[in-house]
Structure 1
Amino acid sequence: MFPSDVSLRDDPLSDPFGERLRPAICMSRQVLGARFRFESDSIAFLELVEAAYGSLPAQRFPGLSPEFHIELRVVPREAAADVTEPPPVRMQGGRGLLCGVVDASNYMVLAPAQRRGLIVVSEDMLAFRYHVRYELLEFAVFLLAPRVLNLVPLHGACIGRDGLGVLLLGPSGAGKSTLTLQGLVDGMDLLAEDSVFAHPESLLATGVPNFLHVKEDTLRFVDDPAVREWIRKSPVIHRRSGVAKYEADLRERDASCAKAPLRLAATVFVSGESAHGPDDLLAPVPWEFVAPMLSADQPYASGHAGWDRFVQRIRRGGVYRLRRAPHPRDAIRAVGGLLDRARPAG
């Protein structure tokens, strides 16, 4: 896929910070409505970029397409004891810089105003492909793009059709991934399964529809044996919470991934509480409870500029509580009804 590795190492006495290092390979990908240019002399690191962002639809916001530059460096192997997973990333920031630190040889430094970033990992850290990709590489993109495009970063999922989307919120374990999978099976478009980024005024939302993370017990609801087989053949990742999930690559199948940002037509809080019947499945959230529920569910996003306007706009579209149905197909039908109501007449 790439030419052979080229290692550029300058004299540490004349260049102690490695500023003269010139990565030999460049890769450009359209992500979250922006153009990201990744530069590195490590094939292994660039393969993680391809794993994260290769063959994705090039979602763009009207009139906006900023460019970002991220340098990816690999430093010599650390002489350390064997570990089953690296330490968690510690976040720091100040004076326009954002940092994520694992240890002295594994970290990222981001300068959103300059649209630049640096990610450094040691050779042994590259063995933890999921952690490097998810906790450093993807995290850097998720921090840079929203701050320049003025997007509200949301922890949630989004599915839809015909250019409209439903934002799925709720705590971990409530069933957002199960609903997302059922939505895909039923022909809906997937915008994002875990992180959604919305413009507070237009409510246009973008995401990265690359992977679907599904627990084994979710597969009992999947009627299609080909879908079950596809998921069970996928790698298993272990969250830091201890939960194990299949990481199914949506690009391996003809999955319906949103080709452009979706306009959020409704918001649904997914609840683990079981519904007593069909009429108890989906209920509107009273107007006065919407703002506090959103802030409690999205503590990070609620501190961002544009949050108040986002809440105002979300209220107008409608905010609902979705209780657990006997089968997620019933819940998806209720969600689809919200999209039908939001579609312009004629």
Structure 2
Amino acid sequence: MIDDDGPGFCAGVKDAGADPFCERLAGRRFSVCRQILGGCFRFESTSKALLDLVEVAYAGLPSHQLPTGAPDFRIELRLLPRQVSPHAAEPPPVRVQSGAGLLCGVMDASNYVVLAPGQHSGLVVASQDMLGHPYHLRYELIEFAVFTLATRGLGLVPLHGACVGRDGRGILLLGASGSGKSTLALHSLLQGLDFLAEDAVFVQPESMLATGVANYLHVHADALCFIDEGAIWRWISQAPIIRRRSGVEKFEADLRQGHGRLAAAPLELVGAVFVSSQSADDADVLLSPVSSDEIAARLSADQSYAAGQPGWRCFEQRLMQAGVHQLRRGRHPRDSVDALRRLLDRCR
């Protein structure tokens, strides 16, 4: 028995007692379909504001296809009334939980995600005041749902890293936060390499095809000192500033504005580099191979979540065969890009 004063608080529900689970929402239902990470995602909502955020995240991206068949995914987005005590500065962090075949990410009672990977579906619930925190709503709720469903439904290995390449081949950029992955990815884009992803890369382990979402680039203000071209400088410096949970602030530059080339298809990984914040002893020798007996330990330490996923062992073995290097900093980021280009040339 559900009390009438219980959870019957959904927007658009006329009689909470007759529909306590909000299964008969009033209002017109809208939908948007997008090809993301090799899968077809259908987003449904009675809220245009929530679907607008989906477009902000995924409109205008290359439609990546993977060689194996992909299921269709469905995500419902539901908007609740404004909270009585809205978040003053930023929403609380997401807490994750699992059970009974479900995966959950919860900020609070009015902002959460419930995913059913076995059914390739999910529910994203947000309160109206969360529309005032579009970065957190998009990144921590909507993208959380998309990335998690794609990982489970397509058998992908989820990696925290970046990826650039050319001619269908890619180099995975790994390393701790602050090592310079985003700056290196930016200059790779500006110097003509294909840009796949800056923060999250998803790999099909059997084929070593990597895909990602090339929507935004997040860079520190100090990266601007290496930008000489005025149009590029303005593109980044005039971009909105987002604040990470760590307190670090970065520009969020939209990669779909035409400053460089986005990877039109998944890239086949032909190697990986651990990006180091240390300067090279020899400015002309930035790359050094990681010894084979160190690769597995370094990969697992760098990717603790991915290392526990089903496809990790296959991915690890394939990457060890391809080769892993360490990349130290040169005098200018373009020196590091030149090193990546030479590495790609050797892997032809």
- Compute the TM-score of the two structures, normalised by the length of structure 2: 0.95
Indicate whether 1:17 and 2:21 are aligned.
Answer: yes
Tell me what 2:338 maps to: 333
| Aligned residue identity for 1:299 | S
Indicate whether 1:112 and 2:121 are aligned.
Answer: no
Structure 2 contact 286–328 (Cα < 8 Å) conserved: yes
Tell me what 1:145 maps to: 150
Where do residues 156-235 of structure 1 align in structure 2 (5 Å cutoff)?
Answer: 156-235=161-240
Where does the alignment leave 5 or more consecutive residues of structure 1 unmatched?
1-6
How far apart are 1:95 and its partner, in Å? 2.2
Where do residues 122-137 of structure 1 align in structure 2 (5 Å cutoff)?
Answer: 122-137=127-142
CA distance in 2, matches of 1:251, 1:140: 22
Where does the alignment leave 5 or more consecutive residues of structure 2 unmatched?
1-10
CA distance in 1, matches of 2:337, 2:88: 41
How far apart are 1:309 and its partner, in Å? 1.0
Indicate whether 1:84 and 2:78 are aligned.
Answer: no
C-alpha RMSD of matched pairs (Å):
1.2
Match of 1:255 among 244, 257, 260: 260
Structure 1 contact 10–20 (Cα < 8 Å) conserved: no
Higher alpha-carbon deviation: 236-245 or 292-301: 236-245
How far apart are 1:329 and its partner, in Å? 0.5
Would the alpha carbon gap of residues 58 and 190 (structure 1) be closer, same or farther in structure 2, given more than 3 Å must change?
same
What whole-Å deviation, never above 9, does each CA across 1:290-315 have from its counterpart, x for those lacking one? 00000000000000001111110001
CA distance in 2, matches of 1:83, 1:156: 31
| Equivalent residue pairs, number | 337
**Secondary structure of 1:182's aligned partner:** helix
Structure 2 contact 86–129 (Cα < 8 Å) conserved: no
Structure 2 contact 232–259 (Cα < 8 Å) conserved: no
**Secondary structure of 2:210's aligned partner:** strand
CA distance in 2, matches of 1:264, 1:239: 29
**Secondary structure of 1:85's aligned partner:** coil
**Secondary structure of 1:278's aligned partner:** coil
Identity of aligned residues (%): 57
CA distance in 2, matches of 1:218, 1:176: 11
Structure 1 contact 33–64 (Cα < 8 Å) conserved: no
| Aligned residue identity for 1:245 | K
Tell me what 2:7 maps to: none
Indicate whether 1:31 and 2:31 are aligned.
Answer: no
How far apart are 1:254 and its partner, in Å? 4.5
How far apart are 1:81 and its partner, in Å? 5.3
Structure 1 contact 10–18 (Cα < 8 Å) conserved: no
What whole-Å deviation, never above 9, does each CA across 1:317-340 have from its counterpart, x for those lacking one? 110000111111001100111111
- Compute the TM-score of the two structures, normalised by the length of structure 1: 0.95
How far apart are 1:224 and its partner, in Å? 1.4
Where does structure 1 differ by over 4 angstroms across 4 or more consecutive aligned residues? none
Structure 1 contact 205–262 (Cα < 8 Å) conserved: yes
CA distance in 2, matches of 1:55, 1:280: 38
CA distance in 2, matches of 1:305, 1:81: 39
CA distance in 2, matches of 1:138, 1:10: 31
Structure 1 contact 8–41 (Cα < 8 Å) conserved: no
Tell me what 2:297 maps to: 292
Would the alpha carbon gap of residues 82 and 303 (structure 1) be closer, same or farther in structure 2, given more than 3 Å must change?
closer
Would the alpha carbon gap of residues 82 and 71 (structure 1) be closer, same or farther in structure 2, given more than 3 Å must change?
closer
